[in-house]
C-alpha cells in the first residue's frame, strides 16, 4: 500500500489537507546528536559533497520526527565553486571567500554554473533521496538567492551592515547588475537541475535581503528573483521564496512569482494574508521559542495555528533555522501540536 504523505505538496497548492504540514529549516543539524557524531568525522563541505553522507544527514530528522517533508542537506555556497569562486566554511564564522568580488573585472571572470558538470554530487544525492523517500514524504531542494550570495562574494564573509555590498550596488550599478545576472542564471540552472534529479519543491533562501530599503529591493534585486522563478515555471513544482526581516518587502517579494511565501516571526500570518491575498504561506515560529520549554512551545504554536484559522495554504515552519542548542523534546512537542495530537 502506498503511504506517501503529500500533505506538504497539497498545502503548497492551497488544496485541502487533513492536518497542517510541518517541516523545519535546518531540521538536520547540530541540535541532533547523530549529526554531531558525523561532524566529528567530517567537515561540512565534505558532507555536502559526498552523496552518501548528504543522504544520511537528510534522513536523520525523519527517523526521529513525524515531519511532512525532507530538505536536502547542503549549503547555499555549494554551487559557487562552479562559478570560479574559491571559499571555505570556517567554524563559528561561516563562508570566507578567497578573492572577493569588488569590481567589474572580478565579475567578468565568473562563469555561469553547469550543474551536471559542477555539482554532480548534489544531483546524485537528490536521486538517492528520491528513491529512499518515494513512499514517505516529499523532497525539497534549495539554493541561496542572488542578493544573499552576492553579499558573501562582495563582503568576503558574513557582515552585519553589508557596507561593501551596498557601496558596489550604489556606485557601480553596471558591475552589480552583471553579477546579479550571472548569479540568477546560475541559480536558475541549479534549481531546475535539482528538480530534474528528484526535488519535488524548491526553496530560494534570501537570508540577508531584509537589509535593503524597498526601493533598492525593487531596482536591484526583484528582477533577478523573478528571473529564477520564471525559469522554474516549466518544472511545475512548488516554489518557496523565503527571507528574514522582510516585513516591508513582502508585497514586492510576492511579485517575484513563487507559489509559496516564507515569512519570519515579525509578520503575523493574518497580516501577511491581508496584504498578499490568497497565497500559500510558510512560517512562522521564532526559533528561539524552541529553546524554552515544551509548554511555551505549545502556547506559541497554538497562537500561530489560531492565526492561520485553518486557512488553506499554510505550511508550519520556523522563521529561520533550528538553533544548535534546541532540545529534541521541544521539536517533538512542536510537531505533535501542529499535527493536532
CATH number of domain containing 130:
3.20.20.210
* Cis, bond preceding 284 (omega within 30 deg of 0): yes
The angle, 0 to 180 degrees and rounded to 10, between the axes of the packed helices 120-133 and 51-64 is 40
The question of whether 30 is a catalytic residue gets the answer yes
**DSSP assigned state of 322:** P
Q: Which pLDDT score, from 0 to 100, does residue 159 have?
A: 87
Whether residue 246 lies inside any domain: the answer is yes
How large is the C-alpha radius of gyration of the chain? 19
How far is it, in rounded angstroms, from Cα 72 to Cα 51?
A: 10
Whether residue 331 lies inside any domain: the answer is no
∠ CA 57-198-319, rounded to 5°: 55
Per cent of the chain over pLDDT 70 is 99
The question of whether 75 is a catalytic residue gets the answer yes
What is the side-by-side order of every strand in the sheet holding 139-144?
A: 70-71, 139-144, 201-206, 239-243, 260-262, 280-282, 314-315
Q: What 3-state class would DSSP assign to 94?
A: strand
Whether residue 210 lies inside any domain: the answer is yes
Q: Which residues contact 333 (CB under 8 A, 6 or more apart)?
A: 294, 297, 298
Residue with the three cell numbers 558525523 = 38
Take residue 181 and report the three cell numbers written for it: 545576472
Q: How many domains does the chain have?
A: 1
The residue from 31, 35, 152, 224 that is catalytic is: 152
Q: From the CB of residue 111, how many other CB atoms can be counted at a distance below 10 Å?
A: 13
Stated as kind and residue range, the H or E segment containing 202 is: strand 201-206
Q: Which pLDDT score, from 0 to 100, does residue 341 have?
A: 77
Q: Which pLDDT score, from 0 to 100, does residue 1 have?
A: 45
Whether residue 312 lies inside any domain: the answer is no
Q: Which pLDDT score, from 0 to 100, does residue 92 have?
A: 82
The question of whether 130 is a catalytic residue gets the answer no
The angle, 0 to 180 degrees and rounded to 10, between the axes of the packed helices 173-197 and 222-232 is 20
How far is it, in rounded angstroms, from Cα 74 to Cα 58?
A: 9
Residue 2 confidence (pLDDT) above 70: no
The residue from 26, 49, 206, 333 that is catalytic is: 26
**What does pLDDT average to over the chain?**
97
Q: From the CB of residue 118, how many other CB atoms can be counted at a distance below 10 Å?
A: 22
Take residue 243 and report the three cell numbers written for it: 527571507
The question of whether 39 is a catalytic residue gets the answer yes
How far is it, in rounded angstroms, from Cα 341 to Cα 338?
A: 8
- DSSP H helices in the chain: 7-12, 33-39, 44-49, 51-64, 104-108, 115-118, 120-133, 146-155, 163-171, 173-197, 214-220, 222-232, 250-255, 269-276, 294-308, 328-338
Whether residue 8 lies inside any domain: the answer is no
Q: How confident is the model at residue 148 (pLDDT cuts 50, 70, 90)?
A: very high
Whether residue 236 lies inside any domain: the answer is yes
Region 169-180: mean pLDDT is 98
The residue from 75, 124, 286, 307 that is catalytic is: 75
The question of whether 312 is a catalytic residue gets the answer no
Question: What's the domain range around 105?
Answer: 27-279
Whether residue 186 lies inside any domain: the answer is yes
pLDDT tens string 24-43: 999 999 999 999 999 999 99
Q: Which of 236, 228, 68, 69 is nearest to 148 (CA)?
A: 228
The residue from 6, 14, 30, 266 that is catalytic is: 30
Whether residue 111 lies inside any domain: the answer is yes
pLDDT tens string 44-101: 999 999 999 999 999 999 999 999 999 999 999 999 999 999 999 998 888 999 999 9
How far is it, in rounded angstroms, from Cα 109 to Cα 84?
A: 8
Amino acid at each position: 500500500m502506498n503511504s506517501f504523505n503529500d500533505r506538504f505538496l497539497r498545502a503548497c497548492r492551497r488544496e485541502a489537507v487533513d492536518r497542517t504540514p510541518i517541516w523545519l529549516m535546518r531540521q538536520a543539524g547540530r541540535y541532533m546528536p547523530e549529526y554531531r557524531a558525523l561532524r566529528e568525522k567530517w567537515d561540512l563541505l565534505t558532507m555536502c559533497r559526498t552523496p552518501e553522507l548528504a543522504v544520511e544527514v537528510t534522513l536523520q530528522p525523519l527517523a526521529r520526527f513525524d515531519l511532512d517533508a525532507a530538505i536536502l542537506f547542503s549549503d547555499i555556497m555549494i554551487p559557487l565553486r562552479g562559478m570560479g569562486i574559491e571559499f571555505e566554511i570556517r567554524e563559528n564564522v561561516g563562508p570566507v571567500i578567497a578573492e572577493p568580488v569588488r569590481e567589474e573585472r572580478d565579475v567578468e571572470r565568473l562563469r555561469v554554473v553547469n550543474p551536471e558538470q559542477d555539482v554532480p554530487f548534489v544531483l546524485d544525492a537528490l536521486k538517492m533521496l528520491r528513491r529512499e523517500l518515494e513512499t514517505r514524504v516529499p523532497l525539497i531542494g534549495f539554493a541561496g538567492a542572488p542578493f544573499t550570495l552576492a553579499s558573501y562574494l562582495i563582503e568576503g564573509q558574513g557582515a552585519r551592515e553589508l557596507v561593501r555590498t551596498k557601496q558596489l550596488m550604489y556606485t557601480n550599478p553596471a558591475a552589480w547588475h552583471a553579477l546579479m545576472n550571472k548569479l540568477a542564471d546560475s541559480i536558475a540552472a541549479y534549481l531546475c537541475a535539482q528538480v530534474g534529479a528528484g526535488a519535488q519543491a524548491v526553496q530560494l533562501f534570501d537570508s540577508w535581503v531584509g537589509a535593503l530599503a524597498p526601493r533598492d529591493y525593487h531596482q536591484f534585486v526583484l528582477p533577478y528573483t523573478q528571473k529564477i522563478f520564471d525559469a522554474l515555471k516549466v518544472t511545475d513544482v512548488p516554489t518557496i521564496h523565503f527571507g528574514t526581516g522582510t516585513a516591508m518587502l513582502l508585497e514586492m517579494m510576492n511579485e517575484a512569482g513563487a507559489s509559496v511565501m516564507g515569512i519570519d516571526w515579525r509578520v503575523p500570518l493574518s497580516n501577511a494574508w491581508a496584504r498578499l491575498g490568497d497565497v500559500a504561506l510558510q512560517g512562522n515560529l521564532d526559533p528561539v521559542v524552541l529553546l524554552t520549554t515544551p509548554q511555551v512551545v505549545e502556547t506559541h504554536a497554538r497562537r500561530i495555528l489560531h492565526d492561520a484559522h485553518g486557512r488553506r495554504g499554510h505550511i508550519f515552519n520556523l522563521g529561520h533555522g533550528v538553533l544548535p542548542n534546541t532540545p529534541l523534546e521541544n521539536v517533538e512537542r512542536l510537531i505533535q501540536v501542529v499535527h493536532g495530537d
